[in-house]
């Protein structure tokens, strides 16, 4: 009888381990990117596209009319808005069923035609955001992204981590770090702040510029601050 109980207990334990592994596959899989091995935190593909438009209202109507196509192409959610310092530049955050869904949608000729119809000016900027680490983002806070090329990810990350205390002194609420378009030398940092003034104080301070230089940032970083209008 005791032998049967022990066998039953062992069977339950094995099944529990199998179920835990099945429910949390992302914890068992490591992602390698140009020599960097990280455990992916996000289970959905996230993208950002931004571009100038002739008129937000005209663009938004075309965007809404394209909903069925977007959903069929694997879109799971969206956020649209304009840049804080440029109301003529529209941005869209999306999540997708998979990276392949995003890539197929991005190269679809129908998307290109719809953008022209919507009055998009110039080539849009597409960013596939591969999150590596971060804290939980907070609703209704000022959100900005800084992205740039770096000489070496590990060197940059070391400086970024050392800069955490300074970021907190400038009242950073949350952050997210990742690579762009699968390239470990292109980095984005998404930060959140209570208000626009706190953000501007941080990005204009010499401490940030010095840290970026020390971290091996190449070229001029791009700073974007988002003013959301709608989520779905």
In the prediction, which pLDDT does 44 show? 81
In the prediction, which pLDDT does 21 show? 41
> Domain map of the chain by residue range?
2-31, 45-231
| Tokens 């401490």 found at | 207
Question: Mind giving me the DSSP string for the chain?
Answer: -HHHHHHHHHHHHHHHHHHHHHH-GGGT--EEETTEEE----SSEEEEEEEEES-HHHHHHHHHHTHHHHHHTTEEEEEEEEETTEEEEEEEEEEES-HHHHHHHHT-HHHHHHHHHTTEEEEEEEEEEEEEEEPPP-TTSEEEEEEEEES-HHHHHHHHHHTHHHHHHTT--EEEEEEETTEEEEEEEEEEESSHHHHHHHHTSHHHHHHHHHHTEEEEEEEEEEEEEEE-
Per-residue pLDDT tens, the chain, 232 aa: give them: 444 434 544 433 333 433 334 333 333 333 344 444 444 455 689 999 999 999 999 999 999 999 999 999 999 999 999 999 999 999 999 999 999 999 999 999 999 999 999 999 999 999 999 999 999 999 999 999 999 999 999 999 999 999 999 999 999 999 999 999 999 999 999 999 999 999 999 999 999 999 999 999 999 999 999 999 999 9
User: Is domain 45-231 classified as CATH 3.30.70.100?
Assistant: yes
pTM reported for the whole predicted model: 0.81
Q: How far apart are CA 96 and CA 174, in angstroms?
A: 23
In the prediction, which pLDDT does 162 show? 97
Segment 5-9 long-range contacts (CB within 8 Å, at least 24 positions apart): none
177 touches 159 (CB < 8 A) = no
In the prediction, which pLDDT does 24 show? 39
């Amino acid at each position: 009888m005791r032998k049967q109980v022990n066998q039953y207990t062992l069977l339950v334990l094995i099944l529990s381990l199998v179920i835990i592994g099945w429910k949390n596959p992302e914890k068992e899989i490591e992602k390698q990117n140009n020599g960097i091995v990280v455990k992916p935190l996000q289970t959905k593909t996230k993208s950002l596209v931004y571009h100038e438009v002739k008129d937000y209202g005209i663009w938004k109507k075309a965007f809404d009319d394209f909903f069925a196509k977007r959903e069929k192409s694997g879109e799971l959610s969206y956020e649209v808005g304009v840049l804080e310092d440029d109301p003529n530049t529209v941005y869209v955050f999306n999540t997708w069923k998979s990276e392949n869904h995003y890539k197929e949608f991005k190269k679809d000729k129908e998307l290109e035609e719809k953008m022209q119809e919507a009055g998009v000016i110039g080539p849009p900027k597409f960013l596939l955001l591969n999150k590596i680490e971060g804290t939980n983002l907070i609703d209704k806070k000022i959100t900005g992204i800084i992205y740039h090329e770096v000489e070496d990810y590990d060197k940059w990350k070391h400086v970024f981590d050392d800069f955490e205390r300074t970021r907190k002194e400038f009242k950073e609420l949350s952050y997210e770090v990742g690579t762009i378009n699968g390239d470990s030398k292109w980095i984005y940092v998404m930060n959140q702040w209570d208000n626009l003034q706190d953000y501007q104080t941080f990005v204009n301070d010499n401490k940030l510029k010095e840290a970026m230089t020390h971290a091996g940032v190449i070229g001029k970083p791009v700073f974007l601050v988002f003013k959301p209008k709608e989520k779905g």
